[in-house]
Amino acid sequence: MSTGPRLQGKTAIITGAASGIGAATATLFAEHGASLVLADVVEEALAAVAAKAEEKGAKVVYKTTDVSDEEQVKALVDLALETYGQIDVLCNNAGITGDFTDMNSEDQENWKKVLAVNLIGPVLLTKYAAPHMKEKGCGSIVNTASVAGIRAGAGSNAYSASKAALINFTKTAACDLGSFNVRVNAVCPGLIETGMTKMVFDYARDTGKEAKLGSRCEMKRYGLPHEIAFAILFLASDESSYVTGQHLAVDGGNTASLNLPG
């Protein structure tokens, strides 16, 4: 097994690539030799991430894509195939929290939106990318789920449910695709400093409570995007060639703990 660049000669689609974990994954994949297809709903930031990956020597195309829109997803997969002729890695990373509300005020639009992006998006990308992986006889799909899909917190009904469903979709897709040598796994980040959590971090810093960020996990700190990107790189690469149907918590020990008081 080579210890050189992990994704040399491989093509990877990364959604939600304009920010946070997706941007860190794009940069890391570029450093490891991948050719990239980057997607997000935010064009300017996406272009900046694409430019950074190009500076690392990667071939890059990018396209504004809403992962919950089937036509746009199909166009993204078509772009990957037209540009590179192959798809080796699919990172379903785009996600939204939606509104955090209690059960009584939970509105249907919030549920629909969160499920459309966090669950249906990965389902659609898999629908269009997996046939090409099957035909090639190899591929790796990595879904960014969350510790919220393993353990629930009050108020995050739609988000937690979407991520729990994504973990189970990961496992069913792994069963469907395993015999074709197409692997499907998920990473479950804990609290990571990204665009998604900016409000939480800003509030903690503004109120002098920064030390509390990540204090619930065993490592007593929050995580950074590159720490998730390295886990995604492992699952995307041939180093994890016998790993499928798994969800890997990258959370500083958060979900390992009973979180007993005291």
Does residue 214 interact with ligand NAD by CB under 6 A? no
Neighbouring C-alpha atoms within 13 Å toward the C-beta of 26: 34
Does residue 37 interact with ligand NAD by CB under 6 A? no
Does residue 123 interact with ligand NAD by CB under 6 A? no
Q: Which residue in the set 11, 93, 126, 160 belongs to the binding site for ligand NAD (CB under 6 A)?
A: 93
| Site size for ligand NAD (CB under 6 A) | 28
Q: By C-beta, is 19 or 237 nearer to ligand NAD? A: 19
Q: Which stretch binds ligand NAD (CB under 6 A): 92-100, 103-111, 134-142, 201-209?
A: 92-100
Q: How far is the CB of 2 from ligand NAD (least distance, A)?
A: 29
DSSP SS3 for 42: coil
DSSP E strands, the chain: 11-15, 35-40, 60-64, 89-92, 139-144, 182-189, 247-250
Which residues are within 8 A (CB) of 125 and not within 5 positions of it... i.e. 6 or more apart? 13, 15, 67, 73, 76, 77, 90, 92
Does residue 66 interact with ligand NAD by CB under 6 A? yes
Q: How far is the CB of 220 from ligand NAD (least distance, A)?
A: 16
Quick one: tokens of 226? Answer: 């590159």
* Torsional sign, CA 121, 124, 128, 129: positive
The secondary structure of residue 239, as a DSSP letter, is G
DSSP SS3 for 196: coil
Does residue 122 interact with ligand NAD by CB under 6 A? no
Phi, psi of 4 (to 5 degrees): -80, -155
Q: What is the maximum alpha-carbon separation in the chain? A: 57
Does residue 68 interact with ligand NAD by CB under 6 A? yes
Does residue 96 interact with ligand NAD by CB under 6 A? yes
Does residue 240 interact with ligand NAD by CB under 6 A? no
Show which residues are catalytic.
159
Q: Which residue in the set 6, 7, 12, 20 belongs to the binding site for ligand NAD (CB under 6 A)?
A: 20
Does residue 129 interact with ligand NAD by CB under 6 A? no
Task: Please give the C-alpha separations between residue 9 and each of 46, 85, 161, 243, 249, in angstroms, as whole numbers.
Answer: 23, 12, 36, 21, 28
Q: Which stretch binds ligand NAD (CB under 6 A): 51-59, 91-99, 104-112, 167-175?
A: 91-99
- With contact defined as beta carbons under 8 Å apart, do 90 and 173 qualify? no
Q: Which residue in the set 75, 138, 196, 243 belongs to the binding site for ligand NAD (CB under 6 A)?
A: 196
Given the rule CB under 6 A, which residues bind ligand NAD?
15-16, 18-22, 40-42, 65-68, 93-96, 117, 144, 146, 189, 191-192, 194-197
